[in-house]
Amino acid sequence: MTNSQSLSRHDSLDRGGKAQPLLRVRGLQKHFTIARGGLGRQASRVHAVDGVDFEVYKGETLGIVGESGCGKSTTARLLMHLLAADHGEMIFDGDPIGQRGGISVREMRRQVQMVFQNSYASLNPRMSVEDSIAFGPQVHGVNRRESRQRARRLLDQVGLSPSLFAHRYPHELSGGQRQRVNIARALALEPRLLILDEAVSALDKSVEAQVLNLLTDLKQEYGLTYLFISHDLNVVRYISDRVMVMYLGKVAEMGEVEALYRAPAHPYTRALLSAMPSMNPNQRTEQAPLTGDPPNPIDLPPGCRFCPRCPMVEEACRAEEPALEACGTAHQVACRRADEVMAGAVPVKRLSEESPT
Amino acid sequence: MSLAAAKSDPTAAILAPLVEITDLTVRFRTPTRQVHAVNGVDLSLDRGEVLTILGESGSGKSVTLRTLMRLLPERRSQISGRVSVDGQDVLAMSQRQLTRFRGRTASMIFQEPMLAFDPVYRIGEQIAETVCRHEGVSRRQGMARALELFELVRIPSPQRRLANYPHELSGGMSQRAMIALALSCRPKLLLADEPTTALDATVQIQILLLLRDLQRELGMSVIFVTHDMGVANEISDRIAVMYAGRIVESGKVEEIIGNPQHPYTQGLMASRASGAQRGQRLQAIPGAPPDLAELPRGCAFVPRCPQATDECLAAVPASRALSDTHWAACCRLGM
């Protein structure tokens, strides 16, 4: 496919124009019930995603970061409708998904594709690479011959020679090669939004850089929009335009990547950033910014959910949950004391203050 | 029975290195092929020193570590070379000697703490059992020691945690418990096989700082295996970079991080994604690590090396000293 063709295809699908967000999410919520109530038993639920609002703009890369259990992967699965949301509205380029007058889930899935962390588990071991890539287009009505041609073209584009790789099976490929196949497969339906859920996390460092370069190239060539989920803050900073920091199912902070990394407004973001291992032998980390593990999202504290680990907690924080509010241009934060955090006044929490869990 | 007893004697520091590996090769046989996992590794570790072996998957870093404890499957692996820990020849040990050696002289922590504990026994019992078995003390003394160890690894409310089953502990907590188990017999050498890789960054840094503190408190030597440059920088005194079963560069942390000389180490440093490179292409190392069943002749990095010449194909490059503590194995050094 030539560049002009792909652009014209996107133009024809682009309904709201550049200014309309490609994806708008409002009040997204998913709770998993782990023990039902009744008969004197306490119901307990995992608040995996607990009211999340965000937009993904056309042509940008939105990074999502947070610790395990913060709801980043659940958010991705909800967007793909791999899980049914309890509440929430998802609008894809002006069209509500799965509602009357909107676009169907099937059509949305053609335009939104996903790449997962485990490159091996996400490929069918009994299908050759070529068949795997051609499968999606065939389901969506492209004939066999054309879908195979498309598969070979994509293989070439992700840097795997079709003559060498088209007939191989997943077990015959290395991790980096398999992830390239997954990316090719995601692109086979010519999506507009690609969700990358820890897509480079399992790769060796030297291969990770290759795949990041590939993603950058493909984004330019196809005019893609990325939702890039990762726990690696270095990689997120490199690839993203905007970053969303999640904590226990909520958005803690969201903003332009450089502004957010330079002056984080949420104590949690600040802690995450200073937990990155130092690359300077003369400036090793002397004190861990947070103590304890990420709490489980079952029994949430009242008020701000970061309270138990927050070095700046005060009484008012426990009373009311802070809303996500603007704290700069295109920078939002959910913290009452964001101004102080941005000014850099954050004490380090001592180990002895740790509350036993 | 205080932990201070485990501190190494100051005079021991001037004695021979704690670990000496000479020309270690490890091969694994399968019915169809032979995998050359480790191909001539020389390594020494001083008492009280922290060495990191840095490498990608398949570089032989974990195999080298496991050889130090003789944890490789005896039948399928072929080990040659010399491995000596604290003056004992590890490869010549009988099963009985090995049992004494493991836990007391050398001990190991793994990436997956859940797999190190038996899920159906309480954590405290498992640690106490280890202590009783190795030191011949009573069960009561074993439990007391377990409590001491939990305090040592800074587990909050240790008494209560001893009664927990492994599944009741979070990721960071079970990693701490595994460190406690590994330290239960006061080893002189702690082997750490990617103990922080599966953890969140906020927990990882806590475990790294804990290991650093414990190492200083107890005067242990540590060999730490990781693929993460940042982790290596935080924990080690010295770094050895492995590629395709050989050490290609070795030196103090500052020398490896600040002044890498081998093209592979340089490539690893340059390919790190960071904010500074936003909008630029990353200097990725092309290709993939070699198949260990069919290693190329000469330097194994040749197919991916930007500086390779015919000379590199002729023989495995010898190591060249760059300073008293820094060396690299590359033909093209200084060219």
Question: Can you spell out the DSSP letters for A129-181?
Answer: HHHHHHHHHHHTT--HHHHHHHHHHHHHHTT--HHHHTT--GGGS-HHHHHHH
Given the structure tokens 């995450």, which residue do they identify? A272
Q: Determine the Cα–Cα distance for residues A105 and A138; give it in Å rounded to an integer.
A: 17
CB B127 within 8 A of CB B114: no
Same domain flag for A111 and A223: yes
Q: What Cα–Cα distance (Å) separates residue B16 from each residue in B20, B107, B108?
A: 9, 20, 22
In a domain, A133, yes or no: yes
Q: Which positions 190-229 of A are in contact with B (Cβ < 8 Å)? A: 204-210, 212-213, 216
Same domain flag for A267 and A193: no
- Best CA proximity match to A157, nearest among A180, A136, A137, A135: A180
Same domain flag for A139 and A177: yes
A298 touches chain B (CB under 8 A): no
For chain A, the average pLDDT equals: 88
Interface contact A285-B205, CB threshold 8 A: yes
DSSP annotation of B31: S
Same domain flag for A166 and A302: no
Same domain flag for A300 and A228: no
> What distance in Å separates residue B156's CA from the closest CA in chain A?
6
Compute the Cα dihedral for B144, B148, B151, B155 and give only its sign.
negative
Same domain flag for A98 and A57: yes
pLDDT at A6 (0 to 100): 43
Same domain flag for A249 and A309: yes
Residue from A178, A200, A204 whose CB has the most chain B CBs within 10 Å, to mutate: A204
In a domain, A320, yes or no: yes
pLDDT at B65 (0 to 100): 94
pLDDT at A7 (0 to 100): 41
For A13-39, what is each residue's pLDDT tens digit? 677 777 899 999 999 999 998 877 777
Please report, rounded to a whole number, the percentage of residues in chain A having pLDDT higher than 90.
63
Residue A12: pLDDT band with limits 50, 70, 90: low
DSSP, residue by residue, A69-118: TSSHHHHHHHHTTSS--SEEEEEETTEEBTSTTSB-HHHHHHHEEEE-S-
Q: Which structural domain range is residue A332 located in?
A: 245-349
In a domain, A356, yes or no: no
> How many residues comprise chain A?
357
Q: Which residues of B touch A282 (CB under 8 A)?
A: 254
Phi/psi of residue A55, each to 5°?
A: -125, 150
Same domain flag for A226 and A250: no
Interface contact A206-B230, CB threshold 8 A: no
Phi/psi of residue B331, each to 5°?
A: -70, -25
Nearest to B228 among A207, A258, A277 (CB): A277
What is the ipTM, given to two decimal places? 0.84
Nearest to A285 among B57, B234, B277 (CB): B234
More confident residue, A209 or B12: A209
Q: Distance from CA of residue B25 to its chain's centroid? A: 17
In a domain, A355, yes or no: no
Q: Determine the Cα–Cα distance for residues A88 and A78; give it in Å rounded to an integer.
A: 10
In a domain, A262, yes or no: yes
Joined together, the tokens standing for residue B137 give 């003390």
Q: Which residues of A touch B159 (CB under 8 A)?
A: none
Interface contact B288-A271, CB threshold 8 A: no
Joined together, the tokens standing for residue B229 give 């440059």
Residues β-bridged to residue A255: A243, A331
- Three-class SS of B170-198: CHHHHHHHHHHHHCCCCCCEEEEECCCCC
CB A332 within 8 A of CB A255: yes
CB A196 within 8 A of CB A79: no
CATH assignment of B17-105+188-324? 3.40.50.300
B89 burial (CB, 10 Å; 0-12 / 13-18 / 19+) is exposed
Compute the Cα dihedral for B156, B202, A115, A245 and give only its sign.
positive
- Last-in-domain residue among A212, A240, A268: A240
Same domain flag for A234 and A256: no
Percent of residues in chain A assigned helix, strand, coil, to nearest 5: 35, 20, 45
A100 touches chain B (CB under 8 A): no
Interface contact B203-A293, CB threshold 8 A: yes
Residue from A238, A273, A280, A352 whose CB has the most chain B CBs within 10 Å, to mutate: A238
Q: What Cα–Cα distance (Å) separates residue A319 from each residue in A51, A301, A307?
A: 19, 10, 10
- Last-in-domain residue among A222, A240, A258: A240
Residue ranges covered by each domain of chain B: 17-105+188-324, 113-186
Number of domains in chain A: 2
- Last-in-domain residue among A240, A268, A290: A240
pLDDT at A11 (0 to 100): 52
Same domain flag for A46 and A78: yes
Interface contact B273-A239, CB threshold 8 A: yes
CB B31 within 8 A of CB B217: no
Q: Determine the Cα–Cα distance for residues B50 and B45; give it in Å rounded to an integer.
A: 8
More confident residue, B323 or A345: B323
For A47-105, what is each residue's pLDDT tens digit? 999 999 999 999 999 999 999 889 999 999 999 999 999 999 999 999 999 888 889 99
A50 touches chain B (CB under 8 A): no
First to last CA, chain A: 56
Give the residues of chain B that fall short of pLDDT 70.
1-15, 275-276, 335
Phi/psi of residue A209, each to 5°?
A: -65, -40
Q: Which residues of B touch A354 (CB under 8 A)?
A: 156
The residues, ordered by sequence, that sit 6+ positions from B96 with a Cβ below 8 Å of its Cβ are none
Region of residue A94 (phi > 0: left; psi between -120 and 50: alpha; otherwise: beta): left
Same domain flag for A69 and A193: yes
CB B188 within 8 A of CB B105: yes
Tell whether the model's pLDDT for residue A355 goes beyond 70: no
More confident residue, A105 or A12: A105
> What distance in Å separates residue B268's CA from the closest CA in chain A?
6
CB A326 within 8 A of CB A334: no
Q: Which residues of B touch A68 (CB under 8 A)?
A: 171, 200
- Three-class SS of B126-185: HHHHHHHHHHCCCHHHHHHHHHHHHHHCCCCCHHHHHCCCHHHCCHHHHHHHHHHHHCCC
Tell whether the model's pLDDT for residue A112 goes beyond 90: yes
Angle, to 10 degrees, between the axis of helix A144-157 and the axis of helix A129-139?
130
Q: Determine the Cα–Cα distance for residues B227 and B204; give it in Å rounded to an integer.
A: 14
Same domain flag for A152 and A56: yes
Joined together, the tokens standing for residue B167 give 């599944």
Tell whether the model's pLDDT for residue A41 goes beyond 90: no
A135 touches chain B (CB under 8 A): no
